[in-house]
Amino acid sequence: MKQPAIYITANNYHGTIYTGVTSNLVQRIYQHKNNLVSGFAHRYKCTKLVYYECFDDMVSAITRQKQMKSWRRSDKVKL
């Protein structure tokens, strides 16, 4: 089932966090947990889903992700 979503993953408590956007949250988290895609989240082992929001369309999801990426870390942790 495809539904646009933004998500935050972390490697551990007070560790590195990663903010992403996807059209299939279940599949994307599976990829993170099993290290199937290289990149920032793979390098820093951000495999724990700590937050997500679902949207009706991808444009809204991307807009929200860009907004969240501009936030300070403390604002993301508050979520």
pTM for this predicted structure: 0.92
Output the tens digit of pLDDT for each of the chain's 79 residues.
789 999 999 999 889 999 999 999 999 999 999 999 899 999 999 999 999 999 999 999 999 999 999 999 999 988 8
What Rg value do the Cα atoms of the chain yield, rounded?
12
DSSP string, the chain: ----EEEEEESSTTS-EEEEEES-HHHHHHHHHTT-S-SHHHHTT--EEEEEEE-SSHHHHHHHHHHHHTS-HHHHHH-
